[in-house]
Structures are given as C-alpha cells and as structure tokens.
Structure 1
C-alpha cells in the first residue's frame, strides 16, 4: 500500500471508532466526497487538512501520518537518544544492544527516517565493536534506500572509512568517487570535505601519490574558503599525511599541529583524542628525538578515547603507536605490554595494522633478548599481509619486515619479504 492508502485507512478506522459518518467528519470545512477520496487513497491530504482531521478525530497527527501515537513516537525517540548517548560515551556493547532492540519495535516500521537513523547508529556501533564486515553490510543496505542528501553523504563517509580500514581500497575509492569524482562535483560542505579526506586516505593507502597530492591541495583550498573548524581539521590533517609520505616532515608537522589546535578549540572529545594520537604517531616517525613528548601525548589520547565511542581499531592503533614510541625510548617491556593490548582489540580484518603490531612485538622481544620469539613474530607478518592486494602501504610493511628479519639473521625470510615489497611496489 502507498503512503496515501495508509493515511486514508487510518482516518477511516478512527472515524468509524468514533461513530462518525464521512459527512459528519467533513462538516463544515470539507466536503464528504473529499473525505471519501482521502480515505480511499485517491487524494493526498495537505498538512493543514491532516491537522484539521486529527483535531476532529481527537487523535494525534503523528498517528495519522505514521501509524503511531504521540506517546509511542516519544518512546521511540527517547530510546534512540539513549542508544546514541551510550555510543558517544564509549559503551559500545550497550549501544549495539539498544539500537538492535529498537529495530525490533514494529512501530518503527512506518517511520522511515527514525528507522534509518537507528540502522545508521547500529552500523556505527558495529564498526566501533570491530565487526567491519557487518558494518559494511548495514551501510550498503542503507545506501540502497531513498534518503536525504545529507544522510547519503554521511553513509558514504562511513562506508568509505570502513572499506579503507578493512583494506578494501578499491571499494573505498569507488564509494568516495561516486559523489566527488564526477564532472559536476557538488558545492563543498563540511561533510563533503570529510568525505574527501577519507577518500584521500584511501588514495594514500593505495599508493596513488599523484592523485593524493592534487586532491590534498584541492581540499585545503575548499576548507580555507569554507573557514569552518571541521573542514580545516579534515583538510589539514590529511595534507599532513600526504606531506609526510612525500618526505616533507616539517610541512607535515605544521599541518598536523594546525589541525590539532583547531580541533582542541572546537572538536568533539573522540575526534580530539584521535587527532592527539595521530600527531603523536607522526612525531615519533619524523622527530624520534621527541619520542618522550609523543608518548605522553598518546597516553593522554588513550585515556580520552576510553571515554568515547572510539572503535576497537582506534584503540588498537593508539596502543600500537605507543609501543613504537617505547621501543625508540629503550623500553621494550612497556612496548610489549602496549602492543599486546592493541592486538587483543584489533579486528581480524585490519591486516596492515596487525602486521605492524607483529613487527613491533618482534622488535620488543629482540630487545629483550628473546631471539627465537622475535624471529617467529617477524615471520608471522606474512600471515597478515599475504591476503592483501598490492599497495604502497603493504610494500612499506613488507620492507620493514624484511629489515627486521635481516637484523635477526633470518636471511631466507628477509629475501622473501624484500621480494614481496618489490612486487607490491610494482617493481
């Protein structure tokens, strides 16, 4: 049945319950023939007429429009608010349960926007719990429905991000380019710049440096024109990553520090913590002499992330980067604690980060004198990387594994890893 059919049926049902004829309901403002056409679904009443009929029938407007009473609508909105609050507070399992329970409410069936809001919330909670495949399934299903332009961009951001984090880079790029890659690109907004930043990171992971540099400059220009904190943070942080990948360390730090400064003044706690961790990780790589400051920054980020809706991937990434800092600082035991905590939280399909974690475990064991375990952990990197498609990121991790194996005296393993690094780089 169409929406008009359902509205007409509800009006007819309530009219009969009230013991009214069509003429009695219509008089004096409407004609009984018009009421008849509405009840049969042949006319769609205007909002003003619907409000009038609701008053005459002594029922809520929400019931005529959606099939739920005002009280039921309030209960649904309250339940959805509690689920969102649980997610924002980092209570991921609680949020998943609340979103899933709400979706079993039959009253939600006819409330398209609220039902989509609930499914979107479930997708984010599922992503935060580390079940990236299920998050992809929910987001893909939602993208197949008719929705608002704003929601379409939100779904694209989330799906592009989850595909990227699952190392499914081709799909991540396709999602982003469906909206941003056409000849008639929409006018830049905060949401579109955030989508562009997510797409840019997929370009980087894939090794498309030329496209990444061009797109980074375009996003910076767009963010400067908009002048909003959200757009500036997204554009500056990704420009920092591109600059660091190109070997421009000073420029990378300048962009990253600007992003953190703007985020500190305007950002949500989760995004601020993620940015703090990202800057600490960048500092470890480009200014190893400042590893102590970077470690303190990332320890603070761990505490902050634990109080938010950060995904298990975010938390695992923070621990892995902390381990990198501890190794540079000569604290292999602390590094091992951090990286093992990260491994426990790491989703199984986040393979590139899993490989980096194994390498850090290997280096920590080596520094502690556990050479056999160090070799075993270095060789385990192959299990993480082997299923991945060739990419710049995979090439870098294979190369790091080869260097580690070589230092441990595992010549055969090092040769194989160097060969895989070359193959990933297209050489």
Structure 2
C-alpha cells in the first residue's frame, strides 16, 4: 500500500482503486462535498471521521492518517532502537547508515520519526569526528525544531551544537549556545537526567566555569552535588546479549518483543553512560580547582578519585582514566604531597606504556614540578625534555585547534622558564599558539605566556 502524499491523496487513491464515487464513500454520515474537501487537502478528518473512512476504504486508520501501517511503524521504531544501540555500543558509521535508511523509509508523512532518525545520524557523525557535517545536520534540525516544536526539542540540539563548535575551535559560538541552553534548563529547572549532565559537560569543556559566581559555575556545581559520581558496573556483556536477543526476535517476526528487548539493552547501558559523563565533569572540575585555586582540594581529590574508579571499569575509557590520574597527581601536588603526585603520575605513564602524546607529556610535567619543588633542577629539565618529545608527535594541523595540547605546551613553556632554559621556553610558547590554531610566523618576536592562556 503506497504511503506517499497527503491524507487527501491517500483517500482519493484508495477510493479510485475501489471504484467508489465520493458520494458512495460519504455514505449516510458525510456529504460528498466534505469528502471532496478532504481529498483536496482543504480539510483534515477528525479521528472519528478517519476511522469511518478507513473502514469503508478497507485500510487502517494509522495508514490513512500517517501513511504507514502499524507493522511498518513498529518495524521503523525497532530500526531506530537498533541504530541507537549501534551508535552507543557498536559501530557509529553503521549507525549513521541505519539512521539514514530510516529517514528514507519514514518519509515526510512521518516527520517525527524522520526527525529523530536525522538527530541520531547527526550524533553518529559527531562520534565519528565528522564535525563539519554534524554541525550542518544539527543546525538544520534546529531550524526544523523552531518551525515544528512538536517534532524535536531545541534544548538537546543546542547542547549538541555547543559541543560540536567547541571541538571545532569556535569557542564563542559554543559558549553562546551553552548559555542559551543554560537559560532554558534553568527555566524548568533541571539538574538531573542525561540532558542536564550533557550541558554540564559542555560548560566545563568550554572553560567559562572558571569565573567565580558565574551561572555556569553554579550549574555545574549543582549537577555534581545532586548526581555525584556514582559507582558503576561494566554491563557491556549483558547489553550485547539483550541486543542479540532483540535481533533474533525480529528475525522471528516478533517485533513487539524485539522492541522491548532493545529498550532493555539501551536502559541497561544508561547508568554507565551517565556515570562516564559525570566522571568527565568531575575530572574537569578537579582540574579547575587546582589551576583556579578557588575550590577545596579535598573535594577535588574525592571527585577525581571517583572519576578514576569509573573509567578504570571500562577498557575503552583508558584515555579518560589516565587523564583523571594526572589530575589527581596535580591535586596531590597542590595539597603538598609530592610523593603521592609522583606515584599517580607514574601510574599514568605505566598505563600509557610506550604511547606518546599530550597525556604522557602532562604526566611528565607533574614529575618536573615535583623535581622543582625538591630543588632538583637537572631532574626537572630531563622531565621537561621528555614531555617535549611526547608533545612533538601530536599533529595539530590535521585536527584543527587542540586546546588541551595548547595548554600543555604553554605549561611546558612556563616550566622551562622556571629552570632557565629560555630558548626552549620560547619554542614551547610558539607551539602553544600553533596548537591553538595561530599559524602566523612571528620570527624574532618574544612570545608572552599570557597570549596562550
């Protein structure tokens, strides 16, 4: 049964295929002129009239109103869930393709399903680091949400766009979107749930939370206070078991059971996803506490430790685990415990193994700070040279502005200044500008560390 066109198109097509006149379809309950208005699109039948017409045309009310049969709808809903599972626990490129297929199947007559599928596809593009196409897709959806708020909510789109613009290096645009989302979420108000946690993560990533008394700072503090960093169990095997069972049920044409099992799989993974997001927020919060000096170090230590425990439970979060260890090392150093800082930095380096990069460099910088605190300038310089070697392998020109690398190069320059190696200090500051996206050569110009903060 074709699903294209409007309600009127479907009424007219079915009526003609059954060789019925408008008067015959109208019967004793309706006028033929009313049927004519429905077919021309000038009237939309009420639910009662739609049921009456569907009975006479031999179709379902669902098909007449939405262009899709109940079985088609449940299969489409199942497709959405399986695409979501692929995005969250499988291959995001496969998820993008599946969401795209759903968009084609749903069509314009099922705008809400299509909108949710396009939102899923945009998220899949973001996860694949295809930030340009993801921004384009999210911006289009946001325009649709403004015109049709019954299809999509603006808030998740604003948060997603803030996250994408941040990764693209457009911090001003990212901050504007986050501030807009914050105003919306405070109107509700809301400090729990996935969207609240996603917004808090975006705010900490942007860095505007440094300002004492800022609304962003207050909101992130509220989210951490309300949710904490919950302990979590790795239930990946259970998720995949439920997912496979859902696929098996679908193959057996038990779509209702397949949807239920897919929902169970998604719900099973939700606590871990939220805990990982909260752990990221806690890690950033602890780092800001050390660098800003405005937050209690005991609280920072507790948050960073809880974050480490969450990340340690999931092999795929090794990068985040190491980062939390380095932040904990900074906290210990700030609390006057150089031995504890050295141990944590060593654990971070052991976890990384031979892998160089920004994280390895930040761990070496902790060791350099410890050596400086102990008056061991030679050891500090050696650690700084090792950090520089780790950073030199990071290719900034391929990935756009890299704020974390820029911050690490800047810290390296500061520490080179403390040990009196001026040439290396200047070179590190230049690299910080390069990582931040500033490409212009400044030969012969002394770079001030304030420019890259």
- TM-score, normalised on structure 1? 0.67
Say whether residues 1:137 and 2:136 are aligned partners.
yes
Question: Partners in 2 of 1:15 and 1:368 — Cα distance?
Answer: 86
Higher normalized contact order (CA 8 Å, seq sep 6+, divided by chain length): 1
1:152 counterpart residue number = 154
User: Following the alignment from structure 1 to structure 2, what is the Cα–Cα distance between the partners of residues 381 and 67?
Assistant: 52
Question: Unmatched 5+ residue regions in structure 1?
Answer: 220-233, 238-255, 307-313, 344-353
CA distance in 2, matches of 1:260, 1:341: 34
CA contact (8 A) 2:122 2:138 kept: yes
Question: 1:331/1:376 Cα in 2 relative to 1: closer, same or farther (>3 Å)?
Answer: same
Q: 1:280 & 1:199 partners in 2: Cα distance?
A: 13
Contact 1:298 1:318 in 2 (8 A): yes
Q: Is the 8 A contact 1:398 1:421 kept in 2?
A: no
Give the structure 1 partner of residue 222 of structure 2. 236
- Taking the aligned partners of 1:397 and 1:320, their CA distance within structure 2 comes to 13
1:155/1:207 CA distance change after superposition, 3 Å: closer
Distance 2:408 2:398 in 1: 8
SS in 2 for 1:19: coil
Pairwise mapping of residues 270-289 of structure 1 onto structure 2 (< 5 A)?
A: 270-276=273-279, 278-279=281-282, 285=290
Once the two structures are superposed, residues 364-397 of structure 1 have per-residue CA deviations (whole angstroms, 9 ceiling, x without a partner) of 89899787654333456794899759x9x88854
Q: How far apart, CA to CA, are the structure 2 residues paired with 1:333 and 1:215?
A: 34
| SS of alignment partner, residue 29 of structure 1 | coil
Q: Deviations over 1:338-373 (max 9, x none)?
A: 457998xxxxxxxxxx75664446778989978765
* Count of paired positions: 365
User: Aligned runs of 1:284-299 on 2, under 5 Å?
Assistant: 285=290, 298-299=308-309
For the residue of structure 1 that corresponds to 2:343, the secondary structure is coil
Alignment check: 8 A CA contact 1:273 1:304 kept: no
Contact 2:209 2:216 in 1 (8 A): no
How much is the aligned-residue C-alpha RMSD, in angstroms?
4.6
Deviation at 1:128, TM superposition (A): 2.8
SS in 1 for 2:313: helix
Deviations 1:11-49 (A, max 9, x none): 010111122211111111101111112112222222322
Kindly indicate whether the alpha-carbon contact (under 8 Å) linking 1:401 and 1:417 is maintained by their aligned counterparts in 2: yes
Query: How do 1:322-361 and structure 2 match up within 5 A?
Result: 322=325, 328-330=341-343, 334-336=347-349, 338-339=351-352, 355=358, 358-360=361-363
Contact 1:405 1:414 in 2 (8 A): yes
What residue ranges of structure 2 are gaps of 5+ in the alignment?
Answer: 233-266, 291-295, 330-339, 369-378, 430-446
- 2:260 match: none
Deviation at 1:260, TM superposition (A): 1.3
Distance 1:315 1:91, change over 3 A: farther
Mapped partners of 2:389, 2:410: distance in 1: 17
Aligned equivalents of 1:261 and 1:378: distance in 2?
31
In the TM superposition, what is the alpha-carbon distance from 1:117 to its structure 2 partner?
Answer: 0.5
Q: Quick check: 1:323–1:339 contact (8 Å CA) kept in 2?
A: no
Q: Is the Cα–Cα contact under 8 Å of residues 277 and 318 in structure 1 kept in the other structure?
A: no
Matching residue of 2:122: 123
- Following TM superposition, by how much is the alpha carbon of 1:207 offset from its aligned partner in structure 2, in angstroms? 7.6
Cα pair 1:160 1:199 within 8 Å, conserved: yes
Q: Is the 8 A contact 2:83 2:98 kept in 1?
A: yes
Mapped partners of 2:411, 2:4: distance in 1? 63
Distance 1:147 1:271 in 2: 29
Matches within 5 A, 1:359-398: 359-360=362-363, 373-378=386-391, 383=396, 388=401, 397-398=408-409
State the match for 1:114 in structure 2.
113
Structure 1 pair 305/58, CA: closer, same or farther in 2 (3 Å)?
farther
Distance 1:259 1:293 in 2: 12
CA displacement, residues 226-277 of structure 1 (integer Å, 9 cap, x when unaligned): xxxxxxxx5524xxxxxxxxxxxxxxxxxx465316798x972211133245
TM-score by length of 2: 0.64
1:7 shift after superposition: 1.2
